[in-house]
Structure 1
Amino acid sequence: MVGHRASLAGAMYRACQAKHPNITFHFGHTLTAITSFSPPTCTITPRNDSSAPITLTPALILAADGIKSVARTTMLAALDHTAGIQDTRQAAYRIMLTRAQCAHDAELLSYFDADAVTRWIGESRHIIAYPVSGKQIYNLSTVQPDTHFAAATNATYTTKGSKETMMGVFADFAPVVRRMLDLVPEGEVCEWKLRVHEPLPTWVHGQMALVGDACHPTLPHLAQGAAQAIEDGAVLGVVLSLCPDASPESIEKTLRVYESVRKERAETLVDIAAASGRELHLGEGKAKKERDEAFARLKAGEGKVPDRWADADVQKKIYGFDCMKVAEEEFERLFGEAKVARERMEVG
């Protein structure tokens, strides 16, 4: 069974409430400033009212503030470094259909009941879809050329879409796809611009660490965007539990261990996801012909899958890696190396 990310977030919140009642949640607030990385000092501001901003002085900051990360921008400025936004020229529709919406169509319901992920591929476009939430919701994620954000500023990442336009983008796809898309209510079409940024020189500065899209935004061609953020959180949970004390130096070294375990792996998967998208979205030509022939051989039970997301070696790289085990086993060594590196930096 595949759960929806909202269900996961809700379960984590309820667990925190039950097991850690001293945690304070500031919902409806946005990180607007980091004024110091050591000691960490940040400001969060209410989004929807005129309440005063709140200044926090925590022991550490874990900044999971997304691709438009204030923490990343502030850190890079402090380090006199840049990592520009990269325009992928791709956009996505995200669609969730309920079982009730599809109750009239037996073929659509068969997709809810299948223990399978389905991908439809066309020139410069694809759709990946699968059931979630106990097979009560069918989740569809599309990728198509970006035609609606071309004149937009870098601050714009979403736009209200037109159902007619969405139907036109996928007009040559299978009839079952068009029936699914036609169930989306008018006025509820939302399109996301897909952007990434250049690899960062570091994810850690002082007692602050970047998490998730703030440091490794990933195109959706490998189904690893949220998954890699979860790995970040899992590794942080392990290393912080092993941190020997709450001193600023120990916290920073511990965050360096997190970076050592996660950075290279996450950036490798970011690159594989981008390469997968290029291969899936081929237009006419020799490369497309070879890819389609490979799919045909695979359907006949021969050859290697040309879709990296379904490739056995790639899946082993993704799912055969126990990030928590590695973090636990390597903590002492990496913590020691972080200490040596810090001492050399201070002496040099």
Structure 2
Amino acid sequence: MSDRLEFIDQACSSTVDVQVPGKYLKGASPREAGLWGGKWEIRSSAGAIQRREHTDVPTPLAVYLDLPIATMGGRAKTMPSASRRLYRELGLICIIGAGMGGLTSALALAREGFKDINVYETASNLGFVGAGIQLAPNMARILDHLGVWEPIAKEATNIRETSIRQGATDQELAHVELDYIEKTYGYPHMVGHRASLAGSLYDGCKREESIKFHFSTSVEDIESFSPKPKFIAKPRDGEPYTVEADVLLASDGIKSKIRVAMLKQLNVNAEVQDTNQAAYRIMIHRDEVKDDPEILQLIDSNRVVRWIGAKRHIIAYPVSNKTIYNLSTTQPDDRFAAAPSATYTTKGSKSAMLDVFGDFCPMVKRMLDKVPEGEVCEWKLRVHSPLPTWVHGTTALVGDACHPTLPHLAQGAAQAIEDAAVIAVALSKLPDTSPESINKALRVYEKVRKGRAEALVEMAAASGRALHLGEGAAKEERDKQFAALKGGKGPVPDKWADADVQRLIYGFDCTQVTRDSFDEIFKSLSPAQSVL
């Protein structure tokens, strides 16, 4: 028998349909039902809940928003949207940037029934490159709902375990089994190639007649934000022209021109910040290590390995049907100091890269040595402080344009995809197409997403600090926590592998939360001055 029960956890209140064997709880308050305090989670698709030991919710996630968490044990289900049942003549939706956030925004809006979606991309084509990417359940749920998950999953690796190891000795500090993730959240934690993710999203977009791409076209200037956003588009081989949109979504990355223009108009100073960290992205093809059985064993595994050292670490996993071993590094930024602030990548030196990890174990150094001279590229890792708003008039920021993050939780792309999914749901529930209503719908998006995304940005930074500890008392305490994991006890210093953090990230169904909370949030918002 399934009843409706409101229960409280340490992060926020949550109302869910639950099924508790042998106990009728209809109408019972959380306190009367004996459920007050403690931590709870949905364990099966039937909705049965089981109590877990009380542990504190990691800050800052405990404060991210007073909205319900929808912890799912099943696969995404296609739901008829309001805009399909009664299409609203919203008009022109413009999306700047065809990265993960932009592509998902376009596809999600098209699937909600919107008919005039234009994507502007500076590149001449999407020519998918890049390195590996982690495909977490909260991302997979959205992609499955949009009909593009299956081809991604076919090429991806299902991660069943993670091993955290000392960089210098290759000694295992901790080992975490991850098979429970699919059972708990309906999707496994997978890893794949960025080209596979972007390619499947793009293929989905091309199947939608309502989506039009403008390649080789940059945004030169923002003429106005209200009553409707107006910008100058400049084709590479053509004359600039003015575009007036009903909705403008800026998914143009951490160097977003639209964010800069928006904040300038709002008299807000929010500069991009250095993190003093940089990264190498390395892809080792199977045939390059065919004579190295130790590395081949890693490529053939379903395991994420993280080698950690003072101020540095490497995370690695197999992708592309286990034909490639992907390594992502993080290390001190020693090579961008003299570069202009706009520089985000630089041609790296192989010898410098080998020096950075010169005290790591021989196997790691053998892998790094496989990188051809002249093909070393280093990325500068930047973030910016939380913005006062993501929305101005009928313009909204998406993904790295509003919440760039360090990679230590592997949630950068997933959070951009959550942004896109929430925007599509919010706009599908518009009561009318006035600028005032569009602005309020976009502010619902901000209300659902901003606190959560910014909390995860801080959590990623904190996890990186824990991983990069040098010798001293803090490192000794961290390593004791890692050692306790072998006995199945305690928190995980690497928050990516921590079950409580995973519950808060993977168990949050952003689209369902938006559908459930839209009306209440929308009614609570007063008209914004920028659209009056």
Could you list the structure 1 runs, at least 4 aligned residues long, displaced by more than 6 angstroms after superposition: none
Distance (whole Å) between structure 2 residues aligned to residue 77 and residue 321 of structure 1: 34
Give the superposition deviation at 1:157. 0.9
* Bigger mean CA offset, 33-42 vs 195-204: 33-42
| 2:217 maps to 1:32 | no
Q: Is the 8 A contact 2:436 2:527 kept in 1?
A: no
Picking from 298, 306, 324, the partner of 1:111 is 298
The partner residue of 1:98 within 285, 294, 308 is 285
SS of aligned partner of 2:407? coil
Aligned to 1:129: 316
Paired residue for 1:275, among 462, 485, 490?
Answer: 462
Deviation (angstroms), 1:321: 0.8
1:306-348 Cα shifts (integer Å, max 9, x gaps): 211211111111111111110111111111122xx217x69x9
**8 A contact 2:310–2:468 mirrored in 1:** yes
Alignment of 1:43-62 (within 5 A): 43-46=232-235, 49-62=236-249
Q: Aligned pair count?
A: 341
1:54-93 counterparts in 2 under 5 A?
A: 54-93=241-280
Amino acid corresponding to residue 440 of structure 2 in structure 1: K
Match of 2:325, as an amino acid?
Answer: Y
Deviations 1:70-99 (A, max 9, x none): 111100011011112221111011112222
Moved more, 297-306 or 235-244: 297-306
Aligned partner of residue 3 in structure 1, secondary structure: strand
- 1:10 matched to 2:195: no
- Is contact 2:344-2:380 (8 Å) kept? yes
Give per-residue Cα distances to partners, 1:272-324, cap 9 Å, x unaligned.
Answer: 11111111111121111111222233235444322112111111111111111
Report the 3-state secondary structure (helix = DSSP H, G, I; strand = E; otherwise coil) of the residue aligned with 2:516. Answer: helix
Which residue number corresponds to residue 142 of structure 1? 329
TM-score under structure 2 normalisation?
A: 0.62
Q: Distance in 2 between matches of 1:100 and 1:325?
A: 45
**Pick from 256, 260, 264: which aligns with 2:451?**
264
2:496 paired residue number: 309
Q: Secondary structure at the match of 1:95?
A: strand
- Please name the residue that 1:201 is paired with: 388
Superposition pairs of residues 150-169 of structure 1, within 5 angstroms: 150-169=337-356
Which ranges of structure 2 fall in alignment gaps of 5 or more residues? Answer: 1-156, 158-190
Which range moves more in the overlay, 26-35 or 9-18? 26-35
Q: 1:185 to 1:53 in 2, by over 3 A?
A: farther
Check 1:51–1:328 CA distance in 2 against 1; reply closer, same or farther (3 A cut).
same
Equivalents in 1 of 2:463, 2:233: separation in Å? 37
CA RMSD of aligned residues (A): 1.8
Work out the CA distance in 2 between the residues paired with 1:187 and 1:314: 39
Normalized against structure 1, the TM-score is what?
0.93
Tell me if the contact between 1:31 and 1:65 (Cα under 8 Å) persists in the aligned partners. no
Q: Is the 8 A contact 1:204 1:259 kept in 2?
A: yes
Checking the alignment, whether the CA contact within 8 Å between 1:102 and 1:108 is kept in structure 2 is yes
CA distance in 2, matches of 1:5, 1:246: 36
Rounded to whole Å, the distance in 1 between the matches of 2:453 and 2:519 is: 22
1:24 Cα deviation from its structure 2 partner? 1.8
Letter in 1 for 2:406: L
**1:342 alignment partner in structure 2:** 527
Query: Are the structure 2 counterparts of residues 44 and 110 from structure 1 closer, same or farther at C-alpha, using a change threshold of 3 Å?
Result: farther
The 3-state SS of whatever aligns with 2:387 is coil
Distance 1:107 1:30, change over 3 A: farther
Q: What SS is found at the alignment partner of 2:409?
A: coil
Q: 2:367 aligns with which of 170, 173, 180?
A: 180
SS of 1:200's partner is: coil
| Mapped contact 2:336–2:380 kept (Cα < 8 A) | yes
Larger of the two Rg values belongs to structure: 2
1:229 aligns with 2:416: yes
Q: Are 1:23 and 2:211 an aligned pair?
A: yes
Identity over the aligned pairs, expressed in percent? 62
Name the SS of the counterpart of 2:230 in structure 1: strand
Looking at structure 2, the residues matched to 326 and 301 of structure 1 have their Cα atoms a distance apart, in angstroms, of 32
Taking a change above 3 Å as real, the CA distance of residues 29 and 136 of structure 1, as seen in their structure-2 partners, is: farther
Q: SS at 2:288's partner residue?
A: coil
In 2, the alpha carbon distance for the partners of 1:103 and 1:54 equals: 54
Specify the code of the residue in structure 1 equivalent to 2:268. H
Q: Hey, what's the Cα distance between the residues in 1 that align with 2:313 and 2:368?
A: 13
